[in-house]
Amino acid sequence: PLALVEKMHPEASQEMHCHNFYCIFWFYSGEGTHIVDFKEYEVGQETVFFLSPKHLHTYRNLNNIDGLAICFTEDFLLKLDNELQGRIKAKLFYPVEDFSHCKISEAAKEKMKPIVKLLQETSISQYEDKSLQASYFASLLSLLLICIFFLYWIYFCTFSFYAMFEI
């Protein structure tokens, strides 16, 4: 199973492509355009994109980009509680219309930074027990995704489609 957290490399500009895994692209800073399924979306400070497998995407005119790509396979979502897994998939990765992205407030980012740091460390560490490492990564990932939901309500980050939060 793939579990990777790495610094973004926008200079490796690519043609429109898709992945066979999930991706969370978190732009800490910079500007440009993220094209997903042939629709253009503005990249800006603290913009986060949630892509499921098979979404076509590429970038255009990226400048001064700093951020992370968090990539993982379905196996990591399968480790989550069924209800949580269903919510995460339905709300973040398979929304009814369009696809999901948001802008994270500075206060919300500060709350999530320790989790992201642990995700980064876990993805590059060499654990003897790979199963334990995968479970730890899945737990951190679920915590991050829960924080994104929770912090929306506290700090009102601006989500591009609000239907995500309908109950």
Which pTM value belongs to this model?
A: 0.84
Q: Is 28 exposed, middle or buried (0-12, 13-18, 19+ CB in 10 A)?
A: middle
- The token pair at 40 is 């253009």
Strand partners, 59: 34
Over residues 105-152, the pLDDT tens digits come to 888 888 899 999 999 999 888 889 988 888 898 889 989 988 887 766
Question: How far, in Å, CA of 99 to CA of 89, rounded?
Answer: 11
- The token pair at 32 is 């440009």
The number of helix segments (H) and strand segments (E) in the chain equals 4, 7
Question: How far, in Å, CA of 120 to CA of 112, rounded?
Answer: 12
The SS3 call for residue 28 is strand
- The token pair at 50 is 């949630």
Contact 95, 36 (CB under 8 A): no
Over residues 37-77, the pLDDT tens digits come to 999 999 999 999 999 998 899 998 889 999 999 999 888 88
Q: Is 78 exposed, middle or buried (0-12, 13-18, 19+ CB in 10 A)?
A: exposed
